Each structure stands twice: as C-alpha cells, then as structure tokens.
Amino acid sequence: MAKQPQSAISPTRAENFPEWYQQVVKGADLAENSDVRGCMVIKPWGYAIWENMQRRLDAMFKATGHENAYFPLFIPMSFLEKEAEHVEGFAKECAVVTHHRLEPDGKGGLQPAPSAKLEEPLIVRPTSETIIGATFARWVQSYRDLPILINQWANVVRWELRTRLFLRTTEFLWQEGHTVHATEAEARTETMRMLDVYADFAEHTMAMPVIKGEKTAGERFPGAVSTYSIEAMMQDRKALQAGTSHFLGQNFAKAQGIKYQDENGQEVHAWTTSWGVSTRLIGGLVMTHADDDGLALPPKLAPSHIVIMPIYRNDEEKSQVMPYCATLERELTSQLYAGEPVRVRIDNRDIRGGEKKWQWVKRGVPVRVEIGPRDIAGGKVSYNRRDSSGRFEAPRDLFASHISKTLEEIQHALFQRALQAREAATIRIDTLQDFEAYFASKDEERAEGGGLAYCHFVESPEMDEKLKALKVTVRCVPLNAAEEPGKCLFTGKPSQRRGVFARAY
C-alpha cells in the first residue's frame, strides 16, 4: 500500500473512524465535553451551524402553516404513567427533580433540603408529548379549533451512559412538532408532509442524501401507530437516523383526553402527530462531508462562506492590501446566495499563515482567498475550494460576480459525492449467507459498517435474533420501493417489499 499523504486530521477515516470523528469535531471547534457528565458545550462555530439549520427549518415549518410556542421543561411524573408504551420507552433514562432548594450540609457544603422535597417528582422533558397533549386537551373543544399546528425549539434530556458529541448526549437541542387534527387522513397527510420537509432539508440544505421510509414495529416511537424516518449513510457505511415523523393515531389523544365536538355535536377523540430533528444532524453533517483534513461545510449551512486572508510583509503592503480586502468583502456581501447575503470573514489575526489556513480548512469554510500585493497587481483572485484539492484563479470581477454560482457548485458537488458514496455502498441481498458475509466483512473498502442492504423480510423473533448477533438493524421500509414479491431472508415467508438493513448510530 502506498504511503498516505499527510492529513490535517489524525487518525484518518480509514485508520480509526470513531477517533477521526472526535478529532474533526475538535479541529473544527464545534463542541466539547462539559463538566457535567454526558452534556456538551456547543462552541460558537458549532452553534452557528445549528443557528443556520434552525433558521432554514423554521422558515419551512412556517411556510407549511406551523407556529412556534413554548411548553414547560418539567413534566409531572404522573403524566408519564398515562401512556403505557410511552413510559416504558422513556422512564428508564430521565433526569428526576425531587427537591426545590439546597441548604448547608453542616460540613461546609450543600445538600438538597429535606424540607423542600417535592410531593410529586418532576421529570426533565425527554420529549414533550405528554405535557403538550395535556395543554392541547384544554385548547381543543370544537372542530373549529382544529387543526393545531405547533412547533417547539427546546432542550431535552435523556440519560445516556455512553455519549458521543452531537450523536448521543444526555442533553441535546431539538425541535419537536406537535399537531392535532380532526381526521385520520389529515393527520397522516401532516405526518408525511413533515417527513418530506425533513428530506428536502437534508438533501437541499445539508447536501446529505436520505432514504424516506417507515420504521418496523420494533423500531417505532413508543406510543406511535406509525413512525417514519429519513435515513442517511455515513462514510463508515453505517446508517444514521436523521429525523422522524410519527403518526400517533388516537393513542395520545385518548390517554390525555384530547376531544372535540364534531359538526354533528358528537364528542370524538382527535388524531395527533409529532416530528423532530436535533443537534444530532450536526454529527450527520460531519460524517457525511468531512474528510481527512477536517470538516467540509455545505455553503447553505456555513457560518462563513468565504474567508479572506490578507498577506503582507510590511506596513506599506498592509496599507495596500487591507483596503483592497475590505472592498472585495463589500462586493461579495452585497450579493445573495440561496436567498441570504453572502457571508464573508476577513481573518487578519497575527498568526502564522499556515496555521491560519489550516484552521479554516478544518472548520470547513467553502472558499478560502489569500490576497497579497501580487494578486492586487494582477487583478486576480486566487482561491481554494473546500470540495477540491486544486487551486483556482479568476479575474477579480469575475470571482466576485460569480460567487453565488461557485457556492452552488460546491453545494452540489458535496451532495453528489455523498450520493455516489451511498450508491457504492448499497446492495441487494437475497440469501442469508450473503447477508452474513456482507456484514461480517471487514475489508478496507467496506470500512467497518458493511453498507446498506436491501432485503426481503418479515418481522420475526428469528430475524431479531440474527440481527442482534450481527449488530445490524432494519432501518426502514423505503416509501418509494416498488412492490416486488420475494421471500424473507430469515424465515422464508413471502414478502412484498424490501427493507433497508445496516449497522447504525
């Protein structure tokens, strides 16, 4: 094997993917572990990516008729007892508030005050179905009150023992949509509409190809009738569930008493949905686009589209270069990319040029520009694109006037590269032997994950046992799958449709 070229991130993806991930997150200054076990600090560069995600998603939610609101952080313990499956799914991993005051412990420290013990413990929300449902029960009286289309941006807590930045943390940030409808058909339409919004966002904003599909019964959200997800493939050939949309039927409405008088004066239970994406998306972004030099950001989400690095050796050159950079910045920021002003940062910090350059490479800025006296004299801009290893040069006016086109090319190139990687790692498998061989394989090309295997299946204990042994899960049954008669790989029973199997985060 030829010697690897030196890379900015060590180890490389091929050497140790999980450690590479941690180093990319660190090198891009996205987040770090905090002093509270399992909770992360999201650093400014990482948070700016989240803000960009929020802004674009929020606009999509509002364009589909939703409004934002805010509900309590705490959920009374008794609320979790109402929906049996739901409590089973979430009670095992939640932060429990039992006291409302601290007092001196007599040894110079503090302790929860015994006199301030809560009569009923409060749970820090792991998700808000129960508390929002109780509120909706008050809001909904008549069919005229429907539909209710609400979204909440919030923090949630699910106690985790083994955590990884963005991918699995005790506290994370997310949005959760909660809607109430008069009819099953409307609620099902809403469920699919929001799945489409997520897929659109993943593919056109994150440049991350996804498969839309329905979860199997074993993978459903606790309490849901149907759970749909978008599934993405990471560069280690593992799948990542990137967003979910749940049709909750009347399960929560019945548990919480969400009822309305219909046009005939009959009192009937409503139909509800919920849907969410979280800061986990940032983990997906990293594992989709980053390379051995660090993060590569799709322009639509990059906090800075372009970083300009002035190059000068003395004050005279500086007095020439700095105003030139400022003018170029103005020309660029006066243009729009994807409906927003182009975002430019001039980095004039007094540190070594190489160090500066590599900081921006590792942070994934789409376009890097160096401006020195020679560039000014030549009327040219030489620049690097993060999606390519080459160096580009363009007349200054052309560079500035084409910047939106350049950014769109990068956005498109990142998507195409991810799509090709996914296609190269997708296979149809028709025998259990091939299935086992595929997921047993550890050869280099397949990294450690195997890939996405489309297979016939029927849910059964035999399948569950086999998958558990191989550490494989069925990700979803793709919505666009054509009917195709076949036989379940695990039981031989007749099957009408293939599911997607993969190792997963």
Residues at the site binding a copy of itself, with contacts judged by CB under 8 A: 32, 34-36, 39-44, 47-48, 50-51, 67-81, 87, 91-103, 108-112, 121-124, 131, 134-135, 138, 150, 154-155, 157, 159, 171, 173
- Cβ at position 138, least distance to a copy of itself in Å: 8
Q: How far apart are CA 281 and CA 404, in angstroms?
A: 25
- Cβ at position 10, least distance to a copy of itself in Å: 22
- Cβ at position 65, least distance to a copy of itself in Å: 12
When the beta carbons of 51 and 445 are compared against a copy of itself, the nearer one is 51
Quote the Cα angle for 360-362-368, to 5°.
30
- Cβ at position 36, least distance to a copy of itself in Å: 4
Stretch (H or E) spanning 411: helix 403-424
When the beta carbons of 255 and 477 are compared against a copy of itself, the nearer one is 255
When the beta carbons of 134 and 403 are compared against a copy of itself, the nearer one is 134
When the beta carbons of 74 and 358 are compared against a copy of itself, the nearer one is 74
Q: 494: which residues sit within 8 A by CB, 6+ positions away? A: 458, 485, 486, 487, 488
Q: Which of 472, 409, 463 has its CA nearest to residue 439? A: 472
Amino acid in the structure at residue 147: P
When the beta carbons of 23 and 279 are compared against a copy of itself, the nearer one is 279
When the beta carbons of 14 and 113 are compared against a copy of itself, the nearer one is 113
- Cβ at position 40, least distance to a copy of itself in Å: 7
Q: What is the DSSP string of 370-399?
A: EE-HHHHHHTEEEEEETT-SSEEEEEHHHH
Quote the Cα angle for 115-120-123, to 5°.
110
When the beta carbons of 62 and 428 are compared against a copy of itself, the nearer one is 62
Q: Residue 344 burial by CB count (10 A; 0-12/13-18/19+): exposed, middle or buried?
A: buried
Q: How far apart are CA 436 and CA 273, in angstroms?
A: 37
Q: How many CA atoms lie within 13 A of 66 on its CB side?
A: 27
What SS3 state is found at 361?
helix
When the beta carbons of 351 and 440 are compared against a copy of itself, the nearer one is 351
- Cβ at position 129, least distance to a copy of itself in Å: 13
- Cβ at position 8, least distance to a copy of itself in Å: 21
- Cβ at position 283, least distance to a copy of itself in Å: 15
User: What are the structure tokens assigned to 297, written together?
Assistant: 């950001």
When the beta carbons of 171 and 387 are compared against a copy of itself, the nearer one is 171
Amino acid in the structure at residue 21: Y
Strand partners, 344: 306
When the beta carbons of 75 and 307 are compared against a copy of itself, the nearer one is 75
Q: Which of 353, 345, 490, 474 has its CA nearest to residue 432? A: 490
Q: How far apart are CA 257 and CA 250, in angstroms?
A: 10
- Cβ at position 172, least distance to a copy of itself in Å: 10
- Cβ at position 261, least distance to a copy of itself in Å: 16
For residue 347, report the phi and psi dihedrals to the nearest 5 degrees: -105, 100
Q: How far apart are CA 379 and CA 394, in angstroms?
A: 9
Q: How far is CA 482 from CA 106, 345, 424, 459, 477, in A?
A: 70, 48, 21, 19, 11
